[in-house]
A and B are shown apart, each in its own frame.
Chain A
Amino acid sequence: MKRRLFRSAPSEGTSGLDVGALAPMVDMMTLLLVFLLRTYSTDLAPSPPEGPFALAATGSEDARKGGIELIVSGEAIYVDGQRVASWDHVEGEGVIDPLYSRLLQARPKLRAEVHADGTVPWRQLSRVLATAQAAGVEQIALVGAYRGGM
């Protein structure tokens, strides 16, 4: 007896792939797309090459506008991916000299975006911000991980 492996084509238009099953799939795909467009980003969050690093959360939806990329971790300070100072060797108060020298060379320096680890205290962060300001950076922004939902 010959065994049939495939069904014959349905004779009626409503059997097989049903329109009623496709409509929820379109809805679901649309919702997924909207969710991704709302919550995902094409900007990769920069992080230091070493040590723990986690951005603080923020509800700000403002997008990045570019500029000098300052990363402040609990161990060191990085400018555009290059380590310029270690907190162990940063002494005194006020302007951080290696950072100041590095920022003076940066062109253009209209804007700087500071990616600071969530645990970095204000006494350290304020020195970074003050140094950037002293080096002539006109606009300074703090970058966080967006925690908003839909």
Chain B
Amino acid sequence: MRLFRPNAAEEADVRPTLLGVVTLLFLLLFFLMSTTSGQRLGVVDLRLAAPGEAPPLPHSGLVKAVRVALAEDSAALEFEVASTDAAASSTTRELRRIEVPPKEGKLDLVALLAAVDQVHGIDPSQAEAEVVPGPEVSTTTLLAALDVVRGAAASPRFPKVSLR
């Protein structure tokens, strides 16, 4: 008994199928290009601190609070780190500061990213940060800095950013 058929002498012609696929893709392409815009928008949800609002409760991890003071061409990252002296069974808080100097008259986003990563590396569980822009900080600089502080969806740094 033969379980398998021998190879067909002539292969089926796949060209009509492929042409159909190409035509469908072309129509989809045309439809997409006629109904969409080249400028895609991205939304950054903001949390604004109300006037007189009390600061949030301190985080239970190592990094208690993160604050990014933003100027148009520079930034300063301030954060409180808790250190515990096991012998004295006491916990102290140390305020540290990382300066991000200007680079070619602009905010050095690479240096800011390194500073934010450094703080995030100390306590990855800390998700909140406060950004305090200066009065002359442009929206372009603000959004760029917010992107750095928040991080991407796949690798967030401080996704809960509040503006003060």
B122 interfacial contact with A, CB 8 Å = no
Contacts of B15 in A (CB 8 A): 17, 19, 22
Which of A56-64, A75-83, A84-92, A100-108 has 4 or more CB atoms under 8 Å from chain B?
A56-64
* CB atoms of A58 and B143 under 8 A apart: yes
* CB atoms of A29 and B137 under 8 A apart: no
Partner of B40 from A23, A25, A146 at Cβ < 8 Å? A146
* CB atoms of B41 and A143 under 8 A apart: yes
Contacts of B19 in A (CB 8 A): 17, 22
Contacts of B21 in A (CB 8 A): 26
Which of B30-38, B59-67, B99-107 has 4 or more CB atoms under 8 Å from chain A?
B30-38
| Cα–Cα distance between A66 and B144 once the two chains are bound (Å) | 23
Contact size class for B? 35 or more
Q: Which A100-150 residues have a C-beta within 8 angstroms of B?
A: 113, 116-123, 125-126, 129-130, 133, 139-148
Contacts of B46 in A (CB 8 A): 129, 140-142
* CB atoms of A64 and B41 under 8 A apart: yes
Contacts of A122 in B (CB 8 A): 133-139, 142
Partner of A145 from B26, B39, B150 at Cβ < 8 Å? B39
Q: Given A22-B19, A121-B138, check contact A33 B44 (CB 8 Å).
A: no
* CB atoms of A129 and B135 under 8 A apart: no
Chain B residue at minimal CB-CB distance from A25: B22
Q: Among B38, B45, B153, which residue has the most Cβ atoms of chain A within 10 A?
A: B45
Q: Interface residues of A, CB < 8 Å — how many?
A: 55
Q: Among B39, B42, B134, which residue has the most Cβ atoms of chain A within 10 A?
A: B42
Q: List 23 A-B contacts (CB under 8 A).
A: A13-B10, A19-B15, A23-B18, A26-B18, A29-B22, A32-B29, A36-B36, A40-B38, A55-B39, A56-B144, A57-B143, A57-B144, A59-B42, A119-B139, A121-B137, A125-B139, A129-B46, A130-B51, A142-B44, A142-B139, A144-B43, A144-B143, A145-B41
A-B residue pairs, 6 tightest by C-beta: A29-B25, A60-B42, A40-B36, A123-B135, A41-B40, A118-B140
Further 17 A-B residue pairs, CB within 8 A, beyond A57-B140, A122-B134, A143-B41? A17-B19, A19-B18, A25-B22, A33-B32, A39-B40, A60-B150, A62-B44, A119-B139, A123-B136, A126-B163, A129-B48, A140-B45, A140-B46, A141-B44, A142-B46, A145-B40, A145-B42
